[in-house]
Chains A and B, each alone.
Chain A
Amino acid sequence: MVNDRDAFKQRLDAARARQGLDRATGADAGKGGLPGGNWGIGFRAGVEVVSALVVGVGLGLLLDRWLGTWPWLFLVFFLLGSAAGVMNVYRLFNPRRLRKD
Chain B
Amino acid sequence: MAVEGKAIDALSQFELATTFGPIGRAVGFTQSNLHMLIAGALIVALMVIGMRPRAMVPGRLQSLAESAYGFIDEMLLAQVGPEGRRFFPFVFTLFMFVLFGNMLGLFPYAFTYTSHISLTFTLAMLVFVLITVVAIALHGKHFFGYFFPEGAPLWLAPIIIPVEIVSYLSRPVSLSIRLFANMVAGHVMLKVFATFVVMLGALGTLGPLLSIMPLAINVALVGFEVLVAFLQAYVFAILTCIYLHDAVHLH
Contact = CB atoms under 8 A, between A and B. Distances in A.
Contacts of B245: 97
A88 B171 CA distance: 9
Interface in B197-251: 231, 234-235, 238-239, 242, 245-246, 249, 251
A55 B238 CA distance: 22
Contacts of B246: 96-97
B251 A97 contact: yes
A24 B234 contact: no
B78 A31 contact: yes
B41 to A, nearest CB: 29
A60 B170 CA distance: 14
Interface in A39-88: 40, 43-44, 47-48, 50-52, 54-56, 59, 77, 80-81, 83-85, 87-88
B82 A47 contact: no
Interface in A17-38: 21, 23-25, 27-28, 31, 33-35
Contact of A33 (B163, B170, B242): B242
A51 B77 contact: no
Q: Interface size bucket, B side?
A: 20 to 34
A28 B245 CA distance: 12
A38 to B, nearest CB: 14
Interface in B148-189: 159, 162-164, 166-167, 169-171, 173-174, 177-178, 181
A40 B163 CA distance: 25
A99 interface: yes
A96 B245 CA distance: 11
B82 A21 contact: yes
Contacts of A33: 79, 238, 242
B249 A50 contact: no
B175 to A, nearest CB: 8
Contact of A52 (B159, B167, B235): B167
Contacts of A34: 235, 238-239
A82 B177 CA distance: 17
Contacts of B84: 24
B238 A99 contact: no
B81 interface: yes
A60 B188 CA distance: 33
A23 B173 contact: no
Contacts of A6: none
A88 B162 contact: no
Nearest to A54: B173
Contacts of A54: 170, 173, 177
A97 B245 CA distance: 9
B178 to A, nearest CB: 5
Contacts of B239: 34
A24 B77 contact: yes
16 contacts: A23-B78, A24-B77, A24-B82, A24-B84, A35-B231, A48-B170, A50-B174, A51-B171, A51-B174, A54-B173, A59-B166, A84-B164, A87-B163, A88-B167, A97-B249, A101-B249
Given A51-B174, A80-B162, A84-B167, 12 more contacts: A28-B78, A31-B78, A35-B235, A47-B174, A47-B181, A48-B170, A51-B171, A52-B174, A54-B177, A56-B170, A85-B170, A88-B167
